[in-house]
């Protein structure tokens, strides 16, 4: 697959420098990481930092046993361990886990952390005693895992009685025409300012562009068999009592990833305003959001 056709998969696109440490407390500029929000501290805060804030809003209790499924480069597991929780992060990508371990080993706050462990494993095959966790997190990973109802059931079994799941997930099939039209308008204005990576130029004709954008987002997601919104939402609602559900801005991740603004101050302001615009459009129901946050508590299965 052409790298440019992958949306939101910044971690898979980049070829990070050998000493890359994806760490929200040690942010710095990584100019070679052109396709990732990690390339600038203000972009990392606006993306990964916002996911961390969202997760933190729904963590109650101290020294929890947490499982971070599909933890990627481990930045969220690391933050949660620094908050005093005992965390296991698993991911089937060797490269991601190697990066997570390197970041963990060089963490200047390691003496104050809870326990932190990273394992290379496919969640579907992962063996662990049931009822061992207080919290299971899927942060942008459940949409990748085949048979999401089995994955959610596995998370359910791994949780202790009454305990919690947080699921922050990409729902690609929610992207509709009006949302694609908004993406078009932002991309077009960035392109006209010379601030957009020289991806294939969008056609002048808006309808044609909107069709192309929808294809760009949908085709790879279908090819990779990403799970659809209802495929994830249904098992969550069956097994867990919903305590929170929200739609969150996410398309801005993709837009700012491809932005190329010469001045850092202007880039930061532009990124913030794209995010604010997406948030406002979601709140007014003017576009279809594509990232949801579900928080639920394990409930007894009705027979």
Ligand X SMILES: C[S@@+](CC[C@H](N)C(=O)[O-])C[C@H]1O[C@@H](n2cnc3c(N)ncnc32)[C@H](O)[C@@H]1O
Minimum CB separation of residue 79 from ligand X in Å reads 11
Task: Decide whether 144 or 257 has the Cβ nearer to ligand X.
Answer: 144
Q: Is residue 169 near ligand X by the rule CB under 6 A?
A: no
Q: Is residue 236 near ligand X by the rule CB under 6 A?
A: no
Part in contact with ligand X (CB under 6 A); list of ranges 84-92, 107-115, 182-190, 209-217 = 84-92
Which of 140, 154, 187, 257 forms a contact with ligand X (CB under 6 A)? 140
Say whether 278 sits in a helix, a strand or coil. helix
- For 85, 240, 254, the CA distances from 205, given in Å and listed in that order, are 52, 46, 22
Q: Is residue 101 near ligand X by the rule CB under 6 A?
A: no
Q: Is residue 44 near ligand X by the rule CB under 6 A?
A: no
Minimum CB separation of residue 71 from ligand X in Å reads 5
- At residue 41's C-alpha, the angle toward residues 35 and 46, to 5°, is 80
Put the strands of the sheet holding 65-69 in their side by side order.
Answer: 116-120, 86-91, 65-69, 133-139, 159-170, 291-298, 240-248
Contact assessment for residue 190 and residue 259, using Cβ atoms and an 8 Å cutoff: yes
| Nearest residue relative to ligand X (C-beta) | 72
Task: Decide whether 123 or 184 has the Cβ nearer to ligand X.
Answer: 123
Alpha helices in the chain, H assignment, sequence order: 10-13, 41-46, 48-57, 75-82, 94-105, 148-158, 177-192, 206-223, 229-239, 251-257, 264-283
Contact assessment for residue 31 and residue 39, using Cβ atoms and an 8 Å cutoff: yes
- At residue 168's C-alpha, the angle toward residues 165 and 169, to 5°, is 120
Minimum CB separation of residue 122 from ligand X in Å reads 4
Q: Is residue 144 near ligand X by the rule CB under 6 A?
A: yes
Q: Is residue 139 near ligand X by the rule CB under 6 A?
A: yes
> Which tokens is 97 given?
């886990």
Task: Decide whether 99 or 209 has the Cβ nearer to ligand X.
Answer: 99
Q: DSSP label at 227?
A: P
Part in contact with ligand X (CB under 6 A); list of ranges 35-43, 89-97, 174-182, 250-258 = 89-97
Please tell me the distance from the alpha carbon of residue 292 to that of residue 270, in angstroms, as a whole number: 24
Q: Is residue 79 near ligand X by the rule CB under 6 A?
A: no
Task: Decide whether 89 or 289 has the Cβ nearer to ligand X.
Answer: 89
Which of 30, 42, 92, 217 forms a contact with ligand X (CB under 6 A)? 92
Part in contact with ligand X (CB under 6 A); list of ranges 33-41, 78-86, 91-99, 243-251 = 91-99
- For 78, 79, 117, 136, 229, the CA distances from 110, given in Å and listed in that order, are 9, 11, 12, 22, 37
Task: Decide whether 123 or 172 has the Cβ nearer to ligand X.
Answer: 123
Task: Decide whether 122 or 230 has the Cβ nearer to ligand X.
Answer: 122
Contact assessment for residue 145 and residue 139, using Cβ atoms and an 8 Å cutoff: no
Task: Decide whether 123 or 182 has the Cβ nearer to ligand X.
Answer: 123
Contact assessment for residue 111 and residue 84, using Cβ atoms and an 8 Å cutoff: no
Which residue from 71, 124, 123 is spatially nearest to 95, judged by alpha carbons? 71
Task: Decide whether 70 or 289 has the Cβ nearer to ligand X.
Answer: 70
Part in contact with ligand X (CB under 6 A); list of ranges 92-100, 240-248, 257-265, 277-285 = 92-100
Q: Applying CB under 6 A, which residues contact ligand X? A: 9, 11, 51, 70-72, 76, 90-93, 96, 122-124, 139-141, 144-145
């Amino acid at each position: 697959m052409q790298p440019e056709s992958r949306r939101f998969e910044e971690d898979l696109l980049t070829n990070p420098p050998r000493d890359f440490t994806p760490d929200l407390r040690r942010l710095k500029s990584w100019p070679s990481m052109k396709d990732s929000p990690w390339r600038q501290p203000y972009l990392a805060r606006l993306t990964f930092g916002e996911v961390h804030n969202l997760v933190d809003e729904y963590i109650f209790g101290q020294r929890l046993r947490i499982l971070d499924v599909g933890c990627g480069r481990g930045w969220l597991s690391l933050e949660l361990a620094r908050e005093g929780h005992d965390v296991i992060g698993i991911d089937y990508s060797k490269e991601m886990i190697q990066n997570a371990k390197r970041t963990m080993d060089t963490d200047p706050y390691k003496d104050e952390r809870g326990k932190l462990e990273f394992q290379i494993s496919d969640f579907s095959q992962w063996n662990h005693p049931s009822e061992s966790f207080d919290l299971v997190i899927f942060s942008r990973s459940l949409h990748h895992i085949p048979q999401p109802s089995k994955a959610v059931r596995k998370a359910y079994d791994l949780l202790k009685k009454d305990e919690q799941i947080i699921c922050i997930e990409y729902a690609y099939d929610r992207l509709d025409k009006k949302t694609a039209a908004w993406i078009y308008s932002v991309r077009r204005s960035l392109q006209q300012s010379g601030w957009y990576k020289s991806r294939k130029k969008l056609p002048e004709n808006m309808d044609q562009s909107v069709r192309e954008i929808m294809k760009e987002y949908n085709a790879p997601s279908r090819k990779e068999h990403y799970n659809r919104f209802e495929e994830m939402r249904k098992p969550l609602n069956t097994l867990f009592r919903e305590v929170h559900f929200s739609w969150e801005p996410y398309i801005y991740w993709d837009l700012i990833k491809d932005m190329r603004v010469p001045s850092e101050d202007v880039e930061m302001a532009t990124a913030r305003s794209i995010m604010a615009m997406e948030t406002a459009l979601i709140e007014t129901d003017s576009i279809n959001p594509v990232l949801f946050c579900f928080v639920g508590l394990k409930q007894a299965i009705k027979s």
